[in-house]
Structure 1
Amino acid sequence: MTIINYIKRNKKKSIIILILTIAYYFCLPKHLFKDPTATIITSSNNELLGAQIAKDGQWRFPKNDSIPKKFKTCIIQFEDEYFYKHPGFNPISIFKALRDNIKSKSVKRGGSTLTQQVIRLSRKGKSRTYFEKLKEIVLATRLELRESKDKILAYYSSHAPFGGNVVGLDAASWRYFKRNANDLSWGETATLAVLPNAPSLIYPGKNQKYLLKKRNRLLKKLLENTIIDTLTYQLSIAENLPQKPYPLPRIAPHLLQKIAKTHHGEHIQTTINIKLQERANHIVQNHYNQLSQNKIYNIAVLVLDVKTRQVLTYIGNSPTDKAHQKDVDIIDKPRSTGSILKPFLYTAMLDSGDLLPKTLVTDVPTQFGSYNPENYNKTYDGAVPASRALSRSLNVPAVRMLQQYGLDRFHHYLKNLKLKDLKYNANHYGLSLILGGAESNLWDLSKSYAALSSTLNHYSETSSEYFSNEFCEPIFLASEKVDFGKKINDKTLFNAASIYLTYESLKEVNRPESNENWEFFDNSKQISWKTGTSFGFRDAWAIGSTKNYVVGVWVGNADGEGRPGLVGVQAAAPILFNIFDLLPSSTWFPIPYDNMQKVDICKQSGHRASQNCNEVEEKLIQVSGLKTKPCPYHILIHLDKNETFQVNSSCEDLDNITHKSWFILPPLMAHYYKTKNPFYKPLPKFREDCLGERTVSIDFIYPKENNTIFLPKDFDKKTNPLILKIAHSKPESTVFWYIDETFVANTKNIHELAIIPQHGKHTITVIDEFGNENQQKITISK
């Protein structure tokens, strides 16, 4: 009641007091500092990876509320011994400052507390007058009421000037000592503590004696106050002063560039393993030095943790120069895929039950309209196990498998992998999709391999279950965590067995020379990996996975220039294995038994064994593979007692006929297969006295249907002939050749014919002595 009575009796005074109280309450801005700050990224254990300077050109790190104990002690001892006792200003210090300044008739001493200095720093450009000093005192007391003492110290350490364009303790620590502020010695900390008092002292070669004197005086005070001992004091004063600012770390510059787009001016802790990143940088540097001699200038590397999907290493480019786009982050840039998509097709075909791992697939010269795929070494096996076709990265089997599986169907699977650079429909890419006709990037491809590995891990760790969000984005911010979704019984994209069998095949990919004999001495280095080389030798890929890690490597030129030797296994694979050597060893993926079944497999064909297969082995296959057809290449034939000729009941008694299973391929496949498989036996001939059962097939080896052919001329301007070739299931037969219904010649045993046809369209017809016929249409161009 006394207060109310006082207000009633003194209304004017009360109003004035109220206004002053409100003014005092709101006199301090909500945000003291609005200066732009540098973008800072740190590793998973909070070590500095790099920084991007603030927009105003200052090295000003984001505010840090954590102040090193040494710096806190030094700055209080040097600037404001009674910091924890005064209300924002120190009357005794102000009195002494006034006395000294009046005596000297100039400003010799300020008498400001640390709180007042924080206010002055926040009110940039204000003249140092007694009236401004009074304002600082008022604002300082208000700040003391609003913030804790430690918070005020944090403001000071984050915004104090340390010379040049260096602002704040964290930036100063890195610029002058190349270390985190928490790791500084007493001598180094004392140097930084005296700098804001006269920040111009730090310039190289300027006033070093004066700076040394101030630092040592502070160290002497620490000794006298028993904060440090004599030995520490002696060691500290012996330390040299910094002579120049150091550049800040550039351990992951392209990740910094990426993060700065969305978190500019922030301090971001990443998932990067700094030790791994630094050692990977060193590996890339070494390989860049070698590759640049062949004018190959750019390298990108990504390392993912399969279980957490965290980015452990991010190298967006090699340490090249501006002329070769050193600042371009290639990890997320679209590049031709080469053969790197082949494992996804193989997995999809296993998953759908269209294939078994060892099933023989066709490898012969092939043409689809105007598209004529070739193997890298331009040779053909005739027939090759699917798993070996993948591990050897054979192009022709891959294209034929894609045609068999379905272009639209495979394109749909790739879209489900969320490859963002796959922007067009399936027909736009055509069958070249599997050989590099599409573009993707290292980020999307690496995350896809990581998703396959994670699917296998989760399947074995749960009760044979999958996760609904397995194919998710990797993360590089420590504050994030991947959500794999909920457990489900059905596969998200591919079943576990198909992935496992694909990885078993990729484990057998031929390694670079230095790693060729790995399986004989290091079982812990089992890696499922694949290379890719784009058309024109413009992109070299290598992506590999263990149970715990995925490493992705791209090598090439950012401007797309192709170079000889820019091949996946030569340029990218050595980097991949050097990186894997840095990673902890992993056990191999567990076998997903619940998604597999033991089945008798024909040893020669890789198909499910039919009753005619004479060599059978029991193998684990994916459950979906049970619907594949039995072996079509083993047939039961009837031979005479000496097993020299085929016979039948028309020429031999039934008691004298031997029944035998025989492995036989179609003639074109057999033509190439027997060159690589010397023990392949063609079917025995029928004995001449036998009737019927003379099944014959003819295939063109060259040319292919609707080929357009140019006949070159030699040095004497003579036109070179066109060599026609066919494969006949009974090569001893006589074959008659016709060009446009005109008989040309006949052949026996070796069915090749040289002709020089006129320009234009022609029909080539071959007819054997039994009346079997085949035709091929070609065009001879000028």
Structure 2
Amino acid sequence: MSHWRRPLLALTLTAVAGVSAMAGLDALDRAYPPPLDLPETSVEVVDRDGALLRALATHEGAWRFRVALEDVDPRFIDMLVAYEDRRFRSHHGIDLLAVGRAAMQFVTNGRIVSGGSTITMQLARLIEPREERSIPAKLRQMARALQIEKRLSKDEILERYLTLAPYGGNLEGIRAASLAWYGKEPRRLELGEAALLVSLPQLPERRRPDRHPAAAEAARDRVLDRMVSAEILDERETLRGKEARVPQARLDLPFLAAHAAERVLRQDTRSVRHQLTISRPVQERLERVARNAARQLGPRLSVAMVLADARNGDILAEVGSAGFFDDRRSGWVDMTRAVRSPGSTLKPFIYGLAFEQGLIEQETIIEDRPSNFAGYRPRNFDLAYQGDVSVRTALQMSLNVPAVHLLDSVGPARLATRFKQAGVNLVLPRGEAPGLAIALGGAGLTLYDLVQLYSGLANGGKAVRIDMLASERGTATVLDRRAAWQVSDMLAGVLPPQGATSQGIAYKTGTSYGYRDAWSVGFNGRHVLGVWVGRPDGAAVPGLSGYASAAPILFEAFAKAGIGHTAFRKAPAGALRMARADLPVTMRRFQSARAGFDDARVAEPAPQIVFPPQGAHVELAAASGDVVALKLQGGRAPFRWLANGRPFDGISRRRTASWQPDGAGFSTLTVVDSVGRTASVNVFVE
């Protein structure tokens, strides 16, 4: 064989052997690929910005969340790579320099001191866990690391590592660790917090900060010192990081919007991530308001709230009860979806339909006195009557008889149809048609329904379908624009509850029959908030009322929600608030459409002063503060009182008044009712 053929043959055989070896390795790689499918991760419910509201542990009881690099503080990533695998971006799964160093340490010490593991090798160990720490185990990790690097990018490797790395107990992955140890998402970690979480996966149980705080602190400080050596941090930054205390206890993961989360988890059992329109900061604040309010109200009372954006229908907060785990209040019951009597909260829509039909203006006079509607005799909440009042006053005082008069004229069926168009179906007794009792709460609906209806008042008459899932939502006309503005303008004039400050909101209250439910619904130019107070079992609560029990919660929730203030919509063309004198004659007094209404009306007798009686001697010393109490019977409100021909300040709708005499001697007291009838007595002041 010539001198040049032998080397050529050797080279050929070597090439063939190399190709065969590569083909064999490639076949082996295809035959035994690494298991790269992620294990089960925790199901999560997140808010509109991705912040966690609620999560479910995996079936084996682990908290494990899928992680994307953009959701983690970049400084944490830099520290992790510098500490665990500084040549991560350049090697192909195995750092030969690190392996050589580990081999030398093994020869020198007779045991494994450091494994020379790369982040990719650590991922290989995480996807195929083995308890043993031996040379064969290390070789298997190396082989798997090479396979992983062929299939995944560096960023994908990091994301899988940050999803599976152990952080103590049943915490897996940086997101679970950040939430459990610091109560925050990993993109908001501070320097010392990031350093501790870099150190934990190496010895997660020995460095658990709640059990071994000294070891945790020492490990964190070593990470910070290494960052100085790697010139990632300076000395001043590391000192600041070392000053922070390690966490003393593990925190519970968020459990917010519990009822909303339960509902969406039941509706969709396949998705791992559910995003709601709820805002976590707003939800937290309203849940706090509900808990504090329920604590003051009593042990069995609960509070529910729904806050929605009337422009797009997004639910920003939904509080189903004052405490999901509060057995005394049946906290597991979602009272935002419970069908209850709405009390007087539907009255604004009755007035709105009357505006649409041209039956009333704000200063139109309407009667509030005992009336009979074919056997139905509504009474006011305080069992008193105000006589002649303006429509504006009737709605603001939530008088019952005027509302029934108006509903009788516009028609209960028309009201129910308008609600149905807006996506709200009134719940009526089986077989019954809508009747006049709707005006006073004689139908059932939910807090969710009520907020949806009131979105129409905030949104210029267009009610939007409210929902906590981002989706296409339609609108429907609940009132025309002018009627909606008139009603909103009147409700904006209702005085806030005692102790609350005006916040530029319009609101209405309601109390169901038998003191079972208290309601308050308010809105500004954009947001609608509904509040329900009561017992979930429907039991009566003496003294419960919308104004005293629910309205203060409404005002507090608006003040603390952090949603800002949006001005009401401007009055549309043709919407005016006219003085009574400027109204057409036919609009100055409302005339009921019911035939025989005048016959059904109970006429009042003429007014009569019953105290002090005619000729009485009044001793000022015996009267508190030199004030004399006056009482009358009969007459039609409102009343004007005069003393010696001089009128008192203002007029009164009550049959009681107070008089402060100018001095001793005879005085003449006179009262005039709304139709001009008078009564007088002469008294002697001593």
- Any conservation in 2 of the 1:446–1:543 contact (CA below 8 Å)? yes
- Any conservation in 2 of the 1:503–1:528 contact (CA below 8 Å)? yes
Please identify the structure whose Cα radius of gyration is greater. Answer: 1
Instruction: Write the deviation string for residues 515-570 of structure 1: whole angstroms up to 9, x where unpaired.
Output: 4xx7xxx6xx4422111111111111000111122121111122222212210000
User: 1:331 aligned to 2:307?
Assistant: no
Corresponding residue number in structure 2 for 1:540: 518
Instruction: Write the deviation string for residues 461-517 of structure 1: whole angstroms up to 9, x where unpaired.
Output: xxxxxxxxx43322435xx365557xxxxx8342111111111222233431224xx
After superposition, the Cα gap between the structure-2 partners of 1:339 and 1:101, relative to the gap in structure 1 and judged at 3 Å, is same
User: 1:530 aligned to 2:508?
Assistant: yes
Corresponding residue number in structure 2 for 1:589: 569
Give the Cα–Cα distance (whole angstroms) in 2 for the partners of residues 484 and 30 of structure 1.
Answer: 46
After superposition, the Cα gap between the structure-2 partners of 1:61 and 1:297, relative to the gap in structure 1 and judged at 3 Å, is farther
Q: Which of 284, 293, 316 is the equivalent residue of 1:287? A: 293
User: 1:514 aligned to 2:520?
Assistant: no
Give the Cα–Cα distance (whole angstroms) in 1 for the partners of residues 543 and 578 of structure 2.
Answer: 43
After superposition, the Cα gap between the structure-2 partners of 1:511 and 1:597, relative to the gap in structure 1 and judged at 3 Å, is closer
* Residue 49 of structure 1, CA deviation: 4.3
After superposition, the Cα gap between the structure-2 partners of 1:380 and 1:224, relative to the gap in structure 1 and judged at 3 Å, is same
User: 1:215 aligned to 2:220?
Assistant: yes
Give runs of aligned pairs for residues 70-89 of structure 1, distance below 5 A. 70-89=75-94
Instruction: Write the deviation string for residues 3-38 of structure 1: whole angstroms up to 9, x where unpaired.
Output: xxxxxxx99999997686466357446852122314
Instruction: Write the deviation string for residues 406-441 of structure 1: whole angstroms up to 9, x where unpaired.
Output: 332222222222225637677256432232222211
User: 1:162 aligned to 2:162?
Assistant: no
* Residue 266 of structure 1, CA deviation: 4.0
Give the Cα–Cα distance (whole angstroms) in 2 for the partners of residues 221 and 596 of structure 1.
Answer: 72
After superposition, the Cα gap between the structure-2 partners of 1:204 and 1:90, relative to the gap in structure 1 and judged at 3 Å, is closer
- Any conservation in 2 of the 1:119–1:139 contact (CA below 8 Å)? yes
User: 1:310 aligned to 2:314?
Assistant: yes
- Any conservation in 1 of the 2:306–2:529 contact (CA below 8 Å)? yes
User: 1:676 aligned to 2:676?
Assistant: no
TM-score by length of 2: 0.76
After superposition, the Cα gap between the structure-2 partners of 1:69 and 1:99, relative to the gap in structure 1 and judged at 3 Å, is same
* Residue 77 of structure 1, CA deviation: 2.5
Task: Structure 1: state its 5+ residue gaps.
Answer: 1-9, 457-469, 486-490, 618-627, 633-663, 681-728, 732-782
Give the Cα–Cα distance (whole angstroms) in 1 for the partners of residues 552 and 545 of structure 2.
Answer: 11
Give the Cα–Cα distance (whole angstroms) in 2 for the partners of residues 82 and 52 of structure 1.
Answer: 37
The letter of the residue matching 1:585 is H
Corresponding residue number in structure 1 for 2:654: none
* Residue 186 of structure 1, CA deviation: 2.7
Give runs of aligned pairs for residues 230-629 of structure 1, distance below 5 A. 230-262=235-267, 266-268=272-274, 270-292=276-298, 295-319=299-323, 321-367=326-372, 371-419=376-424, 422=427, 427=432, 430-455=435-460, 470-477=462-469, 480=470, 483=473, 492-515=477-500, 525-582=503-560, 583-593=563-573, 595-596=574-575, 608-610=584-586
- Any conservation in 2 of the 1:415–1:422 contact (CA below 8 Å)? no
- Any conservation in 2 of the 1:164–1:200 contact (CA below 8 Å)? yes
Instruction: Write the deviation string for residues 169-219 of structure 1: whole angstroms up to 9, x where unpaired.
Output: 112112112333233333222211111111102445644444443332222
- Any conservation in 2 of the 1:340–1:531 contact (CA below 8 Å)? yes
After superposition, the Cα gap between the structure-2 partners of 1:390 and 1:128, relative to the gap in structure 1 and judged at 3 Å, is same
Q: Which of 134, 147, 151 is the equivalent residue of 2:156? A: 151
- Any conservation in 2 of the 1:87–1:144 contact (CA below 8 Å)? yes
Give the Cα–Cα distance (whole angstroms) in 2 for the partners of residues 599 and 69 of structure 1.
Answer: 63
Q: Which of 188, 195, 204 is the equivalent residue of 1:199? A: 204
The letter of the residue matching 1:677 is P
User: 1:58 aligned to 2:34?
Assistant: no
Give the Cα–Cα distance (whole angstroms) in 2 for the partners of residues 360 and 666 of structure 1.
Answer: 19
* Residue 299 of structure 1, CA deviation: 0.9
- Any conservation in 2 of the 1:65–1:154 contact (CA below 8 Å)? yes
Corresponding residue number in structure 1 for 2:7: none
After superposition, the Cα gap between the structure-2 partners of 1:143 and 1:471, relative to the gap in structure 1 and judged at 3 Å, is farther
* Residue 572 of structure 1, CA deviation: 0.6
Secondary structure of 1:530's aligned partner: strand
Give the Cα–Cα distance (whole angstroms) in 1 for the partners of residues 285 and 212 of structure 2.
Answer: 40
Instruction: Write the deviation string for residues 606-633 of structure 1: whole angstroms up to 9, x where unpaired.
Output: 7x415xx9xx79xxxxxxxxxx98999x
The letter of the residue matching 1:560 is G
- Any conservation in 2 of the 1:306–1:451 contact (CA below 8 Å)? yes
User: 1:41 aligned to 2:46?
Assistant: yes
Using the aligned pairs only, state the percent identity: 27
The letter of the residue matching 1:538 is R
Give the Cα–Cα distance (whole angstroms) in 1 for the partners of residues 521 and 31 of structure 2.
Answer: 60
- Any conservation in 2 of the 1:41–1:256 contact (CA below 8 Å)? no
Give runs of aligned pairs for residues 726-745 of structure 1, distance below 5 A. none
Instruction: Write the deviation string for residues 119-173 of structure 1: whole angstroms up to 9, x where unpaired.
Output: 2212245755655544433332232233221221121112101001111111211
What is the aligned-residue RMSD (CA, Å)? 4.0
After superposition, the Cα gap between the structure-2 partners of 1:500 and 1:223, relative to the gap in structure 1 and judged at 3 Å, is same
Secondary structure of 1:675's aligned partner: coil
* Residue 455 of structure 1, CA deviation: 2.8
* Residue 115 of structure 1, CA deviation: 0.9
* Residue 55 of structure 1, CA deviation: 3.9
* Residue 78 of structure 1, CA deviation: 2.4
* Residue 366 of structure 1, CA deviation: 3.9
Corresponding residue number in structure 1 for 2:672: none
The letter of the residue matching 2:564 is P
Give runs of aligned pairs for residues 717-728 of structure 1, distance below 5 A. none
The letter of the residue matching 1:178 is G
* Residue 356 of structure 1, CA deviation: 4.0
Give the Cα–Cα distance (whole angstroms) in 1 for the partners of residues 374 and 313 of structure 2.
Answer: 43
- Any conservation in 2 of the 1:474–1:482 contact (CA below 8 Å)? no
- Any conservation in 2 of the 1:38–1:55 contact (CA below 8 Å)? no
Give the Cα–Cα distance (whole angstroms) in 2 for the partners of residues 209 and 630 of structure 1.
Answer: 82
After superposition, the Cα gap between the structure-2 partners of 1:335 and 1:31, relative to the gap in structure 1 and judged at 3 Å, is farther
The letter of the residue matching 1:232 is E
Give the Cα–Cα distance (whole angstroms) in 2 for the partners of residues 286 and 560 of structure 1.
Answer: 21
* Residue 379 of structure 1, CA deviation: 2.0
Secondary structure of 2:483's aligned partner: helix
After superposition, the Cα gap between the structure-2 partners of 1:599 and 1:235, relative to the gap in structure 1 and judged at 3 Å, is closer
* Residue 370 of structure 1, CA deviation: 6.2
Task: Structure 2: state its 5+ residue gaps.
Answer: 1-14, 606-633, 642-674, 678-686
Corresponding residue number in structure 2 for 1:636: none
Secondary structure of 1:671's aligned partner: coil
